[in-house]
Chain A
Amino acid sequence: MDYFRELLNGFTTLLQPEVFAYLVGGYLIGTFFGAVPGLTSMLAIALLLPLTYSLDVTTALVACASIFMAGMCSGSITATTINIPGAPASMMTAIEGYPLQQRGEGAKALGHAALASMIGGALGAVLLMVIAPLAAEAALLIRTPGKFSLIAFALIVIVISQRDSIPKGLVTTTLGVMVATVGIDVMQPVPRFTFGTSTLMQGIDIMPLVIGAFAISELLVQARKGGRRTVDADAVKAERIRRRDFIPPLSEVREIGVYRYIKSAVIGYAIGVLPGAGGSMAAFVSYAEAMRSSKHPERYGKGSYEGIAAAEGANNSMCSGAFVPMLSFGIPGDPTTAIVLGVLVINGLQPGPQFLDTQLHLVAPMFAALLVSALVLVPLTLYLLGPYFVRIVSIRRDVLYSSIAVIALVGSYVATYSTFQMSLALLFGVLAYVLRQHKYPIACLLLGFVLGPSLEEYCRRALSINDGNPMIFLTSIDSLFFLLLTGVFYYFMVVRKPRTPTIGGVAS
């Protein structure tokens, strides 16, 4: 009962003026970053990270949750109206939404996307509230060798999720772990890779890595592109959207069916729990499943409301699922939750099995923010801002990217009040840019960096309690379970690749 009382307190915390302002402000920022092609909600949260030094942790988490939820559904706005997905997770929505826009039903398509996001996001948030404490209970059963195998499982699944570039995923993940070894050793007071400098003695902070990998590298990518505005103004003027057209007819909602909405939410949530899988994968798998089981598969690729509902419901539900491993095991499953973990670490908090027991009062408002964002802010924002939003995201590139550069660089100065952090951010930015240009997944770099220290610590602890004998990983039941699970995932994701319809196939 205490758990549910604390959750209710989380909702009342949202009513505090400052927290409420960050909830709404975060949602609007997330909507903007999600809708502008090239920007993502992850970048918005990365830019928020330095500000969390001065923010209350609850307020920062609420802002992160609303940005995350907003970024997932706002990509559908430009995906539908001008066929450019604002976020990667809206790729499937563009396939179905744009044909509808061309038939003059774009507003209705956006309405369906918002409704599915609302249902998916809300169900995901409820599932998070119910399942997170159960996952934390289960996490208590895992001992040191099992913790090592669990983190190894997470890292391996993150690598093999990069289906077409597994070796490159392994390279960047290992590089991330290598960067994390700089500084004092996790077990002994021995400095490592400091090259005689005292500045590296404390290790490399997560902030310059996040700012560099996600903000600076994006600036460098955008610097190679031409154009005055983020979105073509001519395309924006092509269609006018009326507010009343956003409400989807009940007959179409019935045709999609309650079962489809729930199924998409459950698929999205389950994919969110998996390490390495993000909104794009959630939307794609749910969309593919909807197409496979649809009564009208022939409508897919030509403007199917069911396809939009499946994709959007899943990617919003994924947001909540991604928090389960982060809060219960301290293992972020995707870059966004890795940055949220950074917010907690900056404030001296370390998620784990007992985190919800001891710190629920800090995260309960975040749970509430996920639910309120989905139930209230998704439909409200579309209804109020929808007709103008495409114009809002058509912003001057010079103003937008100059502003991002200032926030990113000055933000990285905040941690230690030294330009060393800024230099590190630039260094990681250039590194991430070169990696991106050669199609190396940089999300793996961050996840390797975040999970690396725990992987090493549990590996060495497990070996030291067993006199250096690595058989402990096979004789410990929990460790063996995760090693076998790794084998199962490897078999199904690499050896026997899932045969799902391709985006190109659907589009054609």
Chain B
Amino acid sequence: MTALTTRLPARFLPVLATVVLFVITFGAGSLRYDGFASGQVIANLFIDNAFLIVLAAGMTFVILSGGIDLSVGSVVALSTMVTAAGLRAGWPVPLVIIAVLLIGSTLGLLMGVVIHKFDIQPFIVTLAGMFLARGLCFLISVESVSIKDATFREVATAVIELPGGVTITYNVVIALLVVLAALYVLHRTRFGRTVYAVGGNEQSALLMGLPTARTKVGVYVISGFCSALAGLLFSLYMLSGYGLHAVGMELDAIAAVVIGGTLLAGGLGYVLGSLAGVLVLGTIQTLISFQGTLSSWWTKIVIGALLLVFIAVQRGMIRGRRRQAAVAS
């Protein structure tokens, strides 16, 4: 009766694999190119991908619960549009921020409620959400709207000096705060643990008396909020709002989460893995830009190959688990 076989390391294996992958790609770049292994290159990884880190954190919640959210890229675009249009109309910056975050969270809430109440696949519902948000952008303006607000531009260009002459933007601070918050919520709160429970076995979670309905809707609210926040960061990064911003970014976010070791079936994964996943994607991009002659589409090709490998590995893990379960029974 005392089977004391703690196999915690096995659960961390996918995340470790991603971290190792990051170290290898970064190490390869450092050996190949002068100036690659500098603090600023690392800082730039965070600066250029702050919005993706926030998106991936939200997406981690959704995928852990066994769902998927395809709307995040469009919500980012809508957020940039609302930000730019709001500022152009002379709204104060805090009002713009509140409006954007509210819109994103509400869209998430709506999708979550539809998914839960009508028991429709998240894929379809969030696909509808994706078209809706993208369409709303063009309702505001079909043109790109640049942001000229002084306060906003000041925040966008402000840098924080770190020791060693490395600079980062406020975007990075916000992104890292989001990751910390996600870590806390996922691992220290009942809501977070219920997300894992629902992803592991929804029926069991329900029979255990856990609030599965609230949790399932909640993850989409979180993802919507994160998308809106990422949209704000993207506005700071691009200083414009445009309906064709962030096309396909939902796929980058999903790729980062999966490469970060989160099981697409739900129930297993870590938000730090998603962070590592974003960094791997960023490093590949940096590598290709350092190389200079390769087209940037090579980034997509490498990401595609990586995704395939990671999903194959996950598949193997699930099979292994099933076999284990079969032997145990």
Partners in one complex: no
User: What is the interface of chain A, defined by CB distance below 8 A to chain B?
Assistant: none
